[in-house]
A and B are shown apart, each in its own frame.
Chain A
């Protein structure tokens, strides 16, 4: 088979479940996370934050703090460069307020001191005079004319006139004659939904160590999903050349999209620059909740028409998202994803983003999709109830498949939705009897997945082992998956390969670890880098044998003559070729860099059994099964882990998690005691069923898997709770008080 062939293959290593390479370090405490890096002479950085939801900063007097013994630097927005690019400037202003505090917890100044106690005292000595302004935290209120304006003149050109200045973004997708479609329906259901902002809830707070020297060179160690993006943003915000800033990513204690940008890193760099010493900044949990990115909060109207036998005739949605105090395009993703699971003759989605006095949204697994699909799948379920139809059969009847024009435009290639639905229908879970007071909910889910800029080096060591250098932090098992794909391609055992994550000075640019892109893109680059090394090893063998390079091929980890005319030579293994590499031309390495495309979309179906305590409104999850088209599962245990993790985070989102603001616009629950994430005792074992419908855009058939699993739980659980209580739920989270209120209102 040619090296670049995408033909069917029998895997020897890919698809196995070797021990994770980071396991020992993590269970013994040796792994270095963001807060674990230290440097001689290091100072403690602390950040002063606004106590107001919206306020003009009249003045900041730092003189008393600067005069304190042990204080080595105090900074405000004046200590950063002037940034032209609007998107980067938003990141900068989010890191340090400039003229206005836009939300409770917005940074206004920072100090570096010789101890935490001195830094804390210095923050108290900074005098900030605020002029408190009216605020708005609700997306619907923010869109109304006369609402307090969070930022003026930020709307892009496609926002029609007549809206509040808070409306910054508008989008529309779809095809077909929606009015004609609704006219054909036997039943139409329209319903409005709201979803609260939720946090990614990673256990590791943001942490970094910055060290800038007087010659303008800097090093930054931080927990991040993308060290190259950190470098780009920080270099712009600090007015530095990229080559002068080296960023090293630590191990990461969860990110889920929330660590794809910067919050404290430019602050630490500015403090280090001013103090002339290394500065470490570690966020408290309170700061993580108040000042890093939660999801968008949303308000969504959905209308779907259906015939009495279950065929959807038309669908429409209006989606209003708020990404906090800065412009945000996440509604694009929701408006495109909302109806993606369906083959629809007529569909239209309209999206809007409005500014509110909340922290700047950061991505959270499949950003924008869970909310949209929650609303759509709730209405589909309600139609099934009203028309007395089986909810799985209705989804199968209307399922998108190869050749379907998606609701966002392109025609689907090979996709796995039908196979996933059929697997769910055939599974014992779908047919298991329910107890009294119990109900079953289900939902489809979807995510696009994408590729992106990627660069990989692969070095063949003289002892026959191999090192792979990639540039994406391992947030979900990528080191194991990359090693598996390198082993598969090279034809050597997995344990002879070690994959490491490079700093920004050691490899070409790699996009952030997001979009479920790493196993697809970095894996593909690794395969190509391995093929590059194989070509070189075949060349070395050809030289040793005295035959043409074209007469050598690579089989099972060894160079062999290609056919009887090439000559009779015993296979020469990778180890044998590597051992004489110095004598045959020097070190052997493979490399590949590209902007990857061809990531395949991914669908999932979730089934949940639950019961609701009618006295308290509390929901208990009894059984949960995730079905997902993963493409080829490179390391099935990690794929299952992604599916289980997404389900658990979705359960939290559905039942308890929300940003709660008081009338004063301040966040009321900035801690894990009051922001309730699910714990093990809340959950049953999450069962998983992996479907492997190959992605035609990858030689091994790999798709991304990390984001789709968080999409279906919101609707699956809401549909279950609605069926258990007899009340159609339309707001998340379905916390016990909210469910109890709905039950009481039903009477």
Chain B
């Protein structure tokens, strides 16, 4: 999955990381385990783009083996 730039310093400088997960929640849990420095950002809130579709907070959104997964800041609007 892709991380946005300012998170990379908490993931050994990598823009792309691999975790074993089949749902949004599992991604967050595995990321927090593998990269504890990401925990504060995850706690503040993140969105996730799965194959271009943006999810906010949807723990059980399923991830297919070939899905494109991009972590994004929690989306806000007006």
Residues of A within 8 A of B (CB): 156-158, 170-175, 256-258, 260, 329-330, 332-333, 336, 348, 350, 362-367, 408-413, 447-452, 514-517, 595, 597-599, 697, 707
Contact = CB atoms under 8 A, between A and B. Distances in A.
Query: Secondary structure of the B side of the interface?
Result: mixed
A450 B68 CA distance: 19
Give the contact-size bracket for chain B: 20 to 34
Nearest to B57: A595
A411 B66 CA distance: 14
B6 A514 contact: no
Given A412-B52, A597-B58, A450 B75 contact: yes
Nearest to A351: B6
Interface in B24-78: 37, 40-41, 44, 47, 49, 51-58, 61, 68, 70-78
Interface of B: 2, 4-10, 15, 37, 40-41, 44, 47, 49, 51-58, 61, 68, 70-78
Contacts of B15: 175
B76 A171 contact: no
B54 A599 contact: yes
A383 B24 CA distance: 42
A481 B54 CA distance: 24
Closest 3 CB pairs of A and B: A257-B78, A515-B77, A172-B5
Nearest to A598: B53
A363 B75 CA distance: 12
Contacts of A336: 72-73
Contacts of B54: 410, 448, 450, 597, 599
A595 B15 CA distance: 29
A365 B78 contact: yes
20 contacts: A156-B44, A171-B4, A172-B8, A173-B5, A174-B5, A260-B78, A329-B74, A333-B76, A350-B5, A366-B77, A408-B4, A409-B2, A409-B49, A410-B54, A410-B70, A410-B72, A412-B52, A514-B77, A595-B56, A597-B56
B67 to A, nearest CB: 11
B44 A367 contact: no
Given A408-B4, A409-B2, A410-B68, A697 B53 contact: yes
Contacts of A366: 77-78
A597 B77 contact: no
Given A171-B5, A409-B70, A697-B53, A597 B61 contact: yes
Contact of B78 (A172, A332, A364, A452): A364
Contacts of B7: 158
Contact of B6 (A171, A409, A515, A516): A171
